Amino acid sequence: MSETRNPARAQILDGIRRSLHRGDLTDTARLAVEQRLAVPPRGPVVARAQLPAAEKVALFCQWAEANNATVSRVAAADVPDEVSAYLARNNLPAEAAIAPSPQLERYDWTSQKLLNLRRGRGEARDQVSITGAFAGIAETGTLVMASGPDHPVSLNLLPDTHIVVLREGDIVSGYEEVWTMLRGRYGKNSMPRTVNTITGPSRTGDIEQAIELGAHGPRRMHIVVVHD
């Protein structure tokens, strides 16, 4: 919508321009803005993550564990077994809310007869959630979650335990690659409503500078890294 058709918007933008001492938006300035939006510049690249694929995966796992997540590396056929084994190791119920994602439906969950899965968004009663991830970032061990019908945001936040299934091929070196991937997959006019970056379980140090897990979300995070 143009500024001419929306006087209130034009008034707000004029106020911002005046505060920046820019005056009216000239054709040259407008063209510069449009070019920047069309070809977004890339930010700084962290050297430690510029590695061959296998070393990049290892670096991601190292940083994820340093940030209080647990990590298992398995073949695709072993994903359901690893999820069931993790629940058993931690005395958790053999039931979970799972994202209704085609990515997760590739795995044979029916092979685990005692595992009860409910597909859909997270609810207050859920103790465990299982999701995929849009990407993993090697430089910090961070997971990137893109919201949508196949990945309700509530699964990232409500359950006490979050199990994430991440393919090795979705692990990138740094944050800048993630933004390029998002633009490429979704396009500028259909980006996901929410992009969450999650580094380990939820934590806070607000009380006496002592780290407390599970402050604003899951207190446990288990990442199942799947061999391509």
In this prediction, residues 140-154 reach a mean pLDDT of: 96
**pLDDT band at 1, cuts 50/70/90?**
very low
- Which residue range is the domain that position 183 belongs to? 47-226
Check whether residue 107 and residue 217 sit in a common domain.
yes
Check whether residue 33 and residue 55 sit in a common domain.
no
Check whether residue 16 and residue 105 sit in a common domain.
no
Question: What strands lie across the sheet with 171-172, from one edge to the other?
Answer: 171-172, 135-137, 142-146, 195-198
pLDDT score, position 21: 72
Provide the phi-psi class of 7: left if phi over 0, else alpha when psi is between -120 and 50, else beta. alpha
Identify the CATH number of the domain in which residue 222 sits: 3.40.50.10420
Three-state DSSP at 157 gives helix
Check whether residue 27 and residue 116 sit in a common domain.
no
Distances (CA, A) of 115 to 8, 33, 84, 98, 197: 56, 53, 7, 11, 28
Digit-coded pLDDT (tens) for 165-203: 999 999 999 999 999 899 889 887 788 999 999 998 876
Alpha-carbon dihedral sign for residues 170, 175, 179, 180? negative
Residue 2: inside a domain:
no
Digit-coded pLDDT (tens) for 20-73: 776 666 677 778 777 777 777 777 778 888 999 999 999 999 999 999 999 999
Residue 178: inside a domain:
yes
Check whether residue 141 and residue 210 sit in a common domain.
yes
Check whether residue 66 and residue 146 sit in a common domain.
yes
DSSP 20: T
Provide the phi-psi class of 214: left if phi over 0, else alpha when psi is between -120 and 50, else beta. left
Residue 1: inside a domain:
no
Q: How many domains does the chain have?
A: 2
Check whether residue 11 and residue 94 sit in a common domain.
no
DSSP 134: S
Length of the chain: 228
Digit-coded pLDDT (tens) for 90-135: 999 999 999 999 999 999 999 999 999 999 999 999 999 999 999 9
